[in-house]
A and B are shown apart, each in its own frame.
Chain A
């Protein structure tokens, strides 16, 4: 237990130290959500005329962007792992007594930390663009909880693919294949009722959609406990499955 916690901590520190050596990467990571916030809210501005209950698109899109960032960050761990595999680092690590689960949890935490930093940027910038969080600090913490579970699920699955395939090309293909559909087959960008019926049906199988359905009311109106409990159940199950699959992939890694 202690070795798991400490090994997780050192694994996390190792990933984060990359930013100390490359502060420019950190800068890009933080500018990215600002650009999206501005671009998306400009592009989709006119959607509000279709009968939105919320006043502005920023108010509608800010929680969507927070979920979207979790989807887009899912590949980042996979690429660090592929780099470690390519340079023979991972194979060295599994020859040490390091806790196996720590290699996984440390990586997932690293993605969570970068995501939280991006969310803070989104919250600050969208606040200045006129968006507010109806449920305050409690709502933000609930957002962190729900979307972290979603992020663990997505990140873990892509990481499992990376550790199994051991080459970047198929991982890029698969990640590109699933990322955009996950986003478009949810109500991140537009409310569900504006989407065709078949998409609304597919949304029911998309964990990303459950997350946004629970998170958006936290920003617009208040705690929607039905949506929150559904999102927590779906995202927690998703995260557990992903950790299980990733653990299995790590176990098979050495052959």
Chain B
């Protein structure tokens, strides 16, 4: 199977010090839906901006469809469709006019543009609104139109930055459907997201990125499989960080040497204990903790999710979204409201 995207040591450094993307190596296979999963500021947008020739890499190289993004940017642009993170639409034109403009920018002929615009309006359920000003569109309609502009030339690779950011659940499900349909017609798709559900439902393979590096890569099932068994999540009736740290230490001590305990990881307010069989483990854990003088506040049992995978590799929950300097640079891409 050939690769639609290959990156070799791809690096972007802003202001000489901020490594937004740091020695990134990924291979995306033709025909797959590949997800870049990570918190804000992880370097996802910078990565896809380099792959779509918008941003010039500082070091390393990348090929899209066999073409080098630095040496043959025109060839890359011709086979790539880029859908921006924020609704990249022109409020002063109608939906059809906006699609037509991009058709011209992709250098398609008039008839093709007309046919293709109609097809896409149909696919994205915008036919009724096609000749209305985009200013009257809802958020979901704008996002659909925006994805449509990236599809005018039937790209080999569709690059979507946060396909469903800020959209309601019905719209999200519909956009997932469109993406799956495009993919089943043979289009390779690269998407970024910080919704775990999105990668779980949509992606064939996922790369978890943090601080501009790939920290884990595989199918969602493989990644979750790396965390065996179940997660027992514990909280303690303490207020202060110091006490919490003490509790954590005590728990580790109490559970150390127990065969059924795979790992103990702090997770924000809680402490996650990864075990083989949750149902059997819970009473055992409680007994051990009580014997060691640890009082448990709440106890919860869950199947491992990608969140746990993320936590395992980065030591953080994906939704914590601590403001990172790396993300600040790309902030102008987002609408300031």
Q: Do A and B come from one complex?
A: yes
Write the residues of chain A forming the contact surface with B, with a CB cutoff of 8 angstroms.
3, 6-7, 10, 14, 17-18, 21-22, 84-89, 91-98, 166-167, 254-255
CB of B97 within 8 A of CB of A17, answer: yes
- Give every chain B residue within 8 A of A84 (Cβ-Cβ): 90
B142 nearest in chain A by CB position: A87
A18 nearest in chain B by CB position: B92
In chain B, positions 73-92 with a C-beta closer than 8 Å to chain A are 74, 77-78, 80, 82-92
- Give every chain B residue within 8 A of A85 (Cβ-Cβ): 332
- Min C-beta distance of A57 to chain B, whole Å: 38
CB of A87 within 8 A of CB of B93, answer: no
CB of B85 within 8 A of CB of A88, answer: yes
- Known A6-B104, A7-B104; judge A87-B335 contact (CB<8 A): yes
Q: Is B105 an interface residue (CB 8 A)?
A: yes
CB of A3 within 8 A of CB of B107, answer: yes
A238 to B46, CA, bound (A): 35
Q: Is B52 an interface residue (CB 8 A)?
A: yes
Contact of A97 among B78, B101, B146, B332 (CB under 8 A): B78
Contact of A92 among B84, B97, B133, B329 (CB under 8 A): B84
- Known A3-B107, A97-B107; judge A91-B101 contact (CB<8 A): no
- Min C-beta distance of B65 to chain A, whole Å: 14
CB of A254 within 8 A of CB of B55, answer: yes
- Known A94-B54, A96-B105, A254-B49; judge A86-B88 contact (CB<8 A): no
- Give every chain B residue within 8 A of A6 (Cβ-Cβ): 104, 107
Q: Is B235 an interface residue (CB 8 A)?
A: no
- Give every chain A residue within 8 A of B332 (Cβ-Cβ): 85, 166-167
A246 to B110, CA, bound (A): 30
A14 nearest in chain B by CB position: B101
- Give every chain B residue within 8 A of A254 (Cβ-Cβ): 49, 53-56
B51 nearest in chain A by CB position: A95
A22 to B133, CA, bound (A): 11
Contact of A95 among B77, B85, B91, B101 (CB under 8 A): B77
Known: A17-B93, A87-B91. 13 other contacts (CB 8 A): A14-B93, A14-B97, A14-B101, A17-B97, A92-B102, A94-B53, A95-B52, A96-B106, A97-B105, A97-B106, A166-B332, A255-B49, A255-B56
CB of A93 within 8 A of CB of B105, answer: yes
A17 to B91, CA, bound (A): 12
B-side interface size class: 35 or more
B46 nearest in chain A by CB position: A255
- Known A17-B97, A86-B336, A255-B56; judge A96-B329 contact (CB<8 A): no
- Give every chain B residue within 8 A of A98 (Cβ-Cβ): 105
A3 to B74, CA, bound (A): 12
- Give every chain B residue within 8 A of A22 (Cβ-Cβ): 92
CB of A255 within 8 A of CB of B87, answer: no
- Give every chain A residue within 8 A of B52 (Cβ-Cβ): 95
- Min C-beta distance of B20 to chain A, whole Å: 9
A91 to B149, CA, bound (A): 13
Q: Is B313 an interface residue (CB 8 A)?
A: no
- Min C-beta distance of B309 to chain A, whole Å: 30
- Min C-beta distance of B11 to chain A, whole Å: 13
Interface centre among B49, B52, B92, B332 (most CB of A within 10 A): B92
B92 nearest in chain A by CB position: A18
- Give every chain B residue within 8 A of A97 (Cβ-Cβ): 74, 77-78, 105-107
CB of A87 within 8 A of CB of B87, answer: yes
A87 to B84, CA, bound (A): 10
- Known A17-B97, A21-B133, A255-B14; judge A91-B88 contact (CB<8 A): yes
A7 to B102, CA, bound (A): 10
A85 to B84, CA, bound (A): 12
Q: Is B325 an interface residue (CB 8 A)?
A: no
CB of B54 within 8 A of CB of A91, answer: yes
A102 nearest in chain B by CB position: B105
A-B contact pairs, 12 of them (CB 8 A): A10-B104, A10-B105, A17-B92, A21-B93, A87-B87, A87-B88, A87-B90, A92-B150, A95-B54, A96-B77, A97-B105, A255-B49
Q: Is B296 an interface residue (CB 8 A)?
A: no
- Give every chain A residue within 8 A of B80 (Cβ-Cβ): 95
A254 to B78, CA, bound (A): 18
Q: Is B221 an interface residue (CB 8 A)?
A: no
A98 to B93, CA, bound (A): 19
In chain B, positions 136-169 with a C-beta closer than 8 Å to chain A are 146, 149-150
CB of B86 within 8 A of CB of A87, answer: yes
Interface centre among A6, A91, A94 (most CB of B within 10 A): A91
Interface centre among A6, A84, A97 (most CB of B within 10 A): A97
Q: Is B333 an interface residue (CB 8 A)?
A: yes
In chain B, positions 297-329 with a C-beta closer than 8 Å to chain A are 329
